[in-house]
């Protein structure tokens, strides 16, 4: 056992340093995202979702750097990643709308001017909609119409349509009555 550690001591140390550095950077980013979420009035669940996205990205970065630490050749890593990205690219092309909705969800976290409880009007020529925002999720936004119907509206579409804020925090106003 000691011969294994002595043979790979540098690699163990570099791996531990890599994990500590990436963990610290990830923690700083997640805390920053949560603070941005609190300032913009978004739910904690949305901030947690963005934190998960950050974690996945850092795991992929850690795998890439760890491959170099363990002595993998650049051409081998290039081959593996190009193969993986080719498969992922085909899969994402097949489910393009899902990727588009996830990306829109991240954009909405940082720059969406409406919050849960706001009453909005979506100016869509095919399906105009006037409703209260109940929840903003990774793929869609949940809207409650005045008649009680729940509408799930894709995130990518709400960023493409004109939206009017009719009443701020409509849920709070309706609970008073």
What CATH number does residue 145 fall under? 2.30.30.60
Domain match, 10 and 90 both:
yes
Beta pairing, strands 119-123 & 129-136: antiparallel
Query: Does a structural domain hold residue 28?
Result: yes
Q: How far is CA 71 from CA 8, 76, 112, in A?
A: 11, 10, 44
User: Alpha-carbon distance 122 to 9, whole Å?
Assistant: 60
Model confidence, pTM: 0.55
Strands of the 129-136 sheet, one edge to the other: 150-154, 140-145, 129-136, 119-123, 162-167
Domain match, 32 and 62 both:
yes
How many domains in the chain? 2
Domain that holds residue 145: 113-176
User: Residue 119 — pLDDT band, cuts 50, 70, 90?
Assistant: very high
Query: Does a structural domain hold residue 104?
Result: no
User: Alpha-carbon distance 143 to 170, whole Å?
Assistant: 12
43-85 pLDDT, tens digit per residue, is 777 788 888 888 888 888 888 888 888 888 888 888 887 888 7
Query: Does a structural domain hold residue 27?
Result: yes
Count of C-beta atoms within a 10 Å radius of residue 122: 19
């Amino acid at each position: 056992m000691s011969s294994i550690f002595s043979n790979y001591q540098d690699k163990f140390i570099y791996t531990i340093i890599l994990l500590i550095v990436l963990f610290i950077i990830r923690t700083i980013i997640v805390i920053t995202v949560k603070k941005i979420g609190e300032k913009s009035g978004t739910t904690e669940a949305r901030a947690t979702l963005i934190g998960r996205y950050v974690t996945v990205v850092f795991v992929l970065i850690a795998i890439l750097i760890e491959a170099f630490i363990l002595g993998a050749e650049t051409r081998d890593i290039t081959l593996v990643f190009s193969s993986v990205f080719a498969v992922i690219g085909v899969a994402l092309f097949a489910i393009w709308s899902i990727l588009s909705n996830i990306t829109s969800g991240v954009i909405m976290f940082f720059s969406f001017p409406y919050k849960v409880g706001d009453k909005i009007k979506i100016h869509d020529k095919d399906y105009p909609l006037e409703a209260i925002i109940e929840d903003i999720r990774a793929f869609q936004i949940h809207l409650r119409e005045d008649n009680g119907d729940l509408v799930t509206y894709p995130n990518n579409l709400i960023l493409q349509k004109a939206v009017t804020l009719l009443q701020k925090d409509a849920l709070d106003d309706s609970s008073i009555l």
